[in-house]
Structures are given as C-alpha cells and as structure tokens.
Amino acid sequence: MDNWLQKRVSLTPNRMALSYHTQSWNFAELQKEVQLVSQHLVGLDVQKLKRVAILGNNTPQLYFTILALQQLGIEIVFINKNLAVPEIEYQLEDADVKLLIYADEFSAKLAGFNNSFSLSELMNSKIKSADKFIQAEFNLNDITSIMYTSGTTGKPKGVMQSYRNHWSSAIGADLNLPVTAKDVWICAVPLFHISGFSIMMRSLIYGMGIRLYEHFDAKLINQDLVAGNGTIISVVPYMLKKLLEVKNSDYNDNFSYMLLGGGAIDVPTLETCRSANINVIQSYGMTETASQVVALNFADAIRKTGSVGKPLFPVSLKIKNATESNQIGEVMLQADNITPGYLNHHKSITQDGWFATGDLGYLDDDSFLYLKSRLSELIISGGENIYPKEIEDELIKLPEIAEAAVVGKSDSTWGSIPVAFLVTDSNVDFQSITDYLTTKLAKYKIPKQFILLDELPKTHNGKIKRSNLQNKL
C-alpha cells in the first residue's frame, strides 16, 4: 500500500491536517515538517535502527517526529510520560531499544539515560538527505507501533501494532460513523495511547484535520466546540463530565459527536447530553485491538444502558462457550485490527483464530454486548460467581461514595468473599451501605468488609491496581 502521508498529500495537499493553539498546517506543510525531522534523524544515522522509543506531551514537534520515524520504517515504542524511571528502563530493555527521543521538559527526569536525546537536540543536529530512506510503500504486515499494556496483574507486555491493524481499525470505525473532509477531531488524549495515535492514523487515511491539545483543558476545549474548531472529540467519562460542568453555551452546529471510551457512562449524564444535543458514542476497545471494536450509537444509549454496543462491521464477536443470549463468558474477537502478538512472547494470542480479551460479558437478545468484569477479577464465593463491576456500579450511585473497588478475599468457608474499598469525603455508615445494597443485589454479592482509602491505587492509564488492594487485606 502507498505510504499514507505521501498518498494523502497527493490527494488533498491544501486540506488542514493539524492545528495547535494559533498554528495550523495543511497536509503539504505537514509533510515538509516531517521531512525536516527525517533529515535530522538520518543525520544521526537513526534510520539504521529497528525501533526507537519516544516520550513526550502532545505537541506538534512530537507529532512530526512520530510521523518521521514512521516514514523511515522505524518501529515506534511509545513510552507513557507518567512512568517512573525504573518502569521506563524496563520497557526500553524489554523492547531492545537503542535510542530514546524525549521532549525537553523531561530532560531532568531522563538525565541518567544513555543513548537518548531531546527533541531540541535532535532539531539542532546535522541533517542529511532522507529521500532514499523514506518508505514508498507500507507493508500492511509490518509493525509500526508498540505500546505497553498497563500491567495491572504483572509485568507490562509490548503490544505490537501493524499497519494492517491501524488500517482495519480506521475502516471499521468509518463504516460505523463516517468521518467527512469537513470534520476536525479534537485530540486531548495522549498520543502515546492508542486513543491518541489512532486519531493520527485516521487523519492520514480519512484526510481529516486534528486539533491537538497538550493536555485536557475542559474550558479551552469547550471554547473550541462552541467556536466550531472541532466536530469530533475522543473522551473518557471523567473528561465528558468535566466538559458538561463548564459548558455554558450550545456547541457549534457543525459538532458531530463525542467518542467515549474507558468505561460506561451513567444514565443521568446521558440524559444531560441528550437535553444538550450532545451525541455520545460509547465504545469498547483496547491496545490489542488498535482502538475500538464495539460501539453503541447514541440512539440506543439509554434503551441499552450499560451496554458498550455492537461489534463494528469488520469485527466478529462471540461469548466463549455461550449457547444462548445472556450467558456470561469471556469475550472473543476476530478482526484484522487485532495485534499479531506481544513483543518477545512467541505463544499465539489466538485460540482457533479467536482473540481472548480477558473480559467477561454477555450478548443480550438483540446482540448488544454487556461487560461484567475482567476474567482475572471474578470472585467465586460458595460456588457463586460475583462480578466486582456490578457491585461497584451500585456503590458509586451513593452520593457519599466518590470511588469504589471490590476484590475477593480468601475465606475458609466460602472460598472467597467480596471486600469493598471506598473513597469518600463524607462520614459513611457501613450498615446503611449494606442495607442499600441488600435492596439491589443478591445477599452473596454484598461486601463482607468495607475499607476506606484516601485514593485507589491506579496504573498510569487510570486502571485500578486490584493486586495492590488484595495486598491490603
């Protein structure tokens, strides 16, 4: 397949590709910036490396550098900027990375790293012609990006993502909700996550513009949506709620939708969005699937509350060992956007051609997917299956509970019992909480112990570290 950036420039050179604050680049101008970075990279003989790690905030220079590495056919290892130094060292060693490029503001943090340099050092280095090293074509089976999983249950694993993965992800999403040339996708999610990088790839494939934010700023993004500087935005529940808090005017008529990932949203928030004419498309995906594989259209959002939707057109989905609807089992997927595997792990990730997600869920009578929990989080008590998410969803409905996490505790009688960790700013009455839950859940699901914490331990991706909680029992 033709090089995506070159193909896009040949098709729509004057169409807006990227904007950042008051700066803007069309695709032809973007290509020139990327070519310049490529020349600096070649001046340092970076093109001889198999893969390069990159770390930084959402900035144009990072954006250009990511694309330059891709143009040179170098695998990009995305490093989460929030990682501690030992965590970064582990990922660099595991990926056998010989070079780390980082944004200048991380210079102090990374001062002790060998074989690394800042973006400013890169751009002050000598240049050489990069023409003969630019990839004229992208082999769809080649790896272009590697992102490490958050490691909630052990050491992080490098998820390899091919050009085919990103291409299939973009096409599947577009078949569900077509993106037009007039659309501008606000990107305030990190480029080092699949949520951000997938927007970059879709920009090249769709020919749409991106409005880049260094970090999430609800007030500034609200101003952009009101002014018509963006028509689509990727959000997680926290971001959506913050945008609703600061919203003081209707969004521009060209606003299309918010793509929501990172968890389900509650009915009151959906109803607020509906009354404000804000379309919210809930979705389900992961690093291993190069972004979304399931989506719930806004028209079904309230009728199918709790569902993440239906699989996108190119995606096949089934529930392992389920023989009828509403049976809970592991979610299994087949699609071209599923990773070819984990770096340095030779075991196949598929079972008879199906990818086991590790998520438990079920399909209702209308084939909408509902997620219950991670398979590793399942609590079996007295032979009964308990899904932590079901209990957590009820707990956070209580106004005094800010966050909740439920884990299993070994028990000589029942095998395991549920224990709830709560974050609250209020004085709470555990008996009142128990009484409330008794009206909503079966008795065996009621937590046998409540523990208060100032905050829940989380990964840098915001996922709860349940293993840390179990160590507190």
Tens-digit pLDDT profile for the chain (473 aa)?
A: 999 999 999 999 999 999 999 999 999 999 999 999 999 999 999 999 999 999 999 999 999 999 999 999 999 999 999 888 988 999 999 999 999 999 999 999 998 888 999 999 999 999 999 999 999 999 999 999 999 986 555 578 999 999 999 999 999 999 999 999 899 999 999 999 999 999 999 999 999 999 999 999 999 999 999 999 999 999 988 899 899 999 999 999 999 999 998 777 778 888 999 999 999 999 999 999 999 999 998 889 889 988 999 999 999 999 999 999 999 999 999 999 999 999 998 777 877 889 999 999 999 999 999 998 888 888 988 878 898 988 998 999 999 999 999 999 988 878 899 999 999 988 899 999 999 999 998 888 999 999 999 999 987 667 788 888 988 98
Place of tokens 């009206």: 439
Predicted pLDDT at 187: 98
Predicted pLDDT at 299: 85
Bin 326: left if φ > 0, else alpha if -120 < ψ < 50, else beta: left
Place of tokens 């958050």: 150
Contact 448, 417 (CB under 8 A): yes
Q: Do 388 and 371 share a structural domain? A: no
Residue 243's nearest CA partner among 262, 251, 159 is 251
Q: Do 126 and 173 share a structural domain? A: no
Q: Please give the helix or strand (H or E) that residue 280 lies within, else none.
A: strand 280-286
Q: Do 43 and 31 share a structural domain? A: yes
Predicted pLDDT at 99: 97
Distance CA 49, CA 72 (A): 10
- 415 occurs within a structural domain: yes
Q: Do 292 and 247 share a structural domain? A: yes
Which residues, other chains included, contact 45 with Cβ-Cβ below 8 Å and sequence gap of 6+?
A: none
Distance CA 447, CA 388 (A): 10
| Model confidence pTM above 0.95 | no
Q: What are phi and psi of 358, to 5 degrees?
A: 85, 0
What CATH number does the domain containing 84 carry? 3.40.50.980
Q: Do 215 and 91 share a structural domain? A: no
Strands 329-334 and 354-363: antiparallel
What CATH number does the domain containing 386 carry? 3.30.300.30
Q: Do 85 and 190 share a structural domain? A: no
Predicted pLDDT at 32: 98
Residue 339's nearest CA partner among 295, 285, 394, 386 is 285
Give the other-Cβ count within 10 Å of 97's Cβ: 21
Contact 118, 134 (CB under 8 A): no
Which residues, other chains included, contact 301 with Cβ-Cβ below 8 Å and sequence gap of 6+?
A: 270, 280, 282
Q: Do 198 and 258 share a structural domain? A: yes
- 145 occurs within a structural domain: no
Distance CA 221, CA 217 (A): 6
How many domains would you assign to the chain? Answer: 3
